[in-house]
């Protein structure tokens, strides 16, 4: 059912913060061309997992293998250059720099790269007329789109999207989904965190459910939705027991 070429393999990932176990023996697999969802209640360790994969944090145990290479101890910038890009929950663009400069910062090389690779994307997100605008002046939705186009400018194979749909209006949502689908059709792979179950179901072909930093359930969106452990993760054991008694 799942495509066969492994792009990202997370094995046995564990991370403690003092006495708190944020991530506990987590396993994830993302194959090329997939859009995989990572869901779970607040505090289940999703963002921490992203931080570890992207190199911002070092895990206490476990490995991360990206496209055959062990990147567990790599610094953030090296991971990004290798093709693993990450966006943030609170949009981070370079406010005082123009949209164009934001893109060139990612591409890191010549202007031709910006135009070749990003041109069509810019048009898709309707930012091509805003190249000279300071990124901070864009609307939040536009900034999120810019963030993603920037990651695409990096030439990323795998995108880690941390709550990309948080706090934006439905129109922008559509643009973002269009962008993700477009990038996927061009060969990109996605691992995304979000709470909008509707969107996750629509976009993702496979979902991992986390709770307490651990793997809790996984499968296609339908499988995960039916799985009683999903309800348990979000609402607690009592809910299940309670509904059974009805």
The answer to whether the beta carbons of residues 58 and 64 sit under 8 Å apart is no
Contact pick of 60, 61, 101, 173 for another protein (by CB under 8 A): 101
SS3 66: strand
Distance separating alpha carbons of residues 131 and 144, to the nearest angstrom:
15
The answer to whether the beta carbons of residues 75 and 57 sit under 8 Å apart is no
Contact pick of 6, 21, 57, 124 for another protein (by CB under 8 A): 124
Contact pick of 17, 58, 111, 139 for another protein (by CB under 8 A): 111
Looking at the Cβ atoms of 133 and 231, the one nearer to another protein is 133
Minimum separation from the CB atom of position 167 to another protein (A): 18
Region 34-63 residues binding another protein, contact defined as CB under 8 A: 54, 56
Contact pick of 8, 53, 64, 104 for another protein (by CB under 8 A): 104
Minimum separation from the CB atom of position 217 to another protein (A): 29
By CB under 8 A, residue 11 contacts another protein: no
Residues whose CB is less than 8 angstroms from the CB of residue 151 and which lie 6 or more positions away in sequence, other chains included: 85, 86, 87, 106, 159
The answer to whether the beta carbons of residues 102 and 142 sit under 8 Å apart is no
Distance separating alpha carbons of residues 205 and 34, to the nearest angstrom:
7
Q: At what angle do helices 237-244 and 228-235 cross, to 10 degrees?
A: 120
By CB under 8 A, residue 234 contacts another protein: no
* Alpha-carbon 1 to chain mean position: 22
Contact pick of 6, 57, 65, 105 for another protein (by CB under 8 A): 105
Q: How many CB atoms lie within 10 A of CB 66?
A: 22
Contact pick of 75, 167, 228, 242 for another protein (by CB under 8 A): 75
What would the x/- binding string for another protein be over residues 149 to 178, using CB under 8 A? -xx--x-----------------------x
Minimum separation from the CB atom of position 180 to another protein (A): 11
């Amino acid at each position: 059912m799942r495509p066969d070429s492994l792009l990202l393999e997370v094995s046995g990932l564990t991370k403690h913060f003092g006495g708190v176990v944020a991530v506990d023996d987590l396993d994830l697999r993302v194959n090329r061309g997939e859009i995989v969802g990572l869901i779970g209640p607040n505090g289940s360790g999703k963002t921490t997992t992203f931080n570890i994969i992207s190199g911002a944090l070092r895990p206490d145990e476990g490995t991360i293998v990206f496209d055959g290479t062990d990147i567990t101890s790599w610094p953030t910038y090296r991971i990004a250059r290798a093709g693993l890009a990450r966006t943030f929950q609170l949009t981070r663009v370079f406010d005082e720099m123009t949209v164009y400069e934001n893109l060139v910062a990612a591409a890191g090389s010549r202007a031709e790269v910006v135009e070749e690779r990003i041109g069509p994307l810019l048009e898709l997100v309707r930012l091509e007329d805003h190249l000279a605008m300071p990124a901070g002046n864009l609307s939040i939705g536009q900034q999120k789109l810019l963030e993603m186009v920037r990651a695409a400018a990096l030439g990323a194979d795998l995108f880690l999207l941390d709550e990309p749909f948080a706090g934006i209006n439905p129109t922008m949502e559509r643009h973002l989904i269009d962008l993700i689908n477009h990038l996927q059709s061009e060969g990109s792979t996605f691992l995304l965190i979000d709470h909008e179950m509707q969107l996750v179901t629509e976009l993702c072909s496979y979902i991992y459910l986390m709770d307490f930093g651990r793997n809790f359930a996984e499968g296609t969106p339908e499988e995960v939705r039916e799985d009683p452990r999903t309800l348990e993760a979000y609402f607690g054991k009592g809910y299940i027991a309670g509904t059974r008694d009805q």
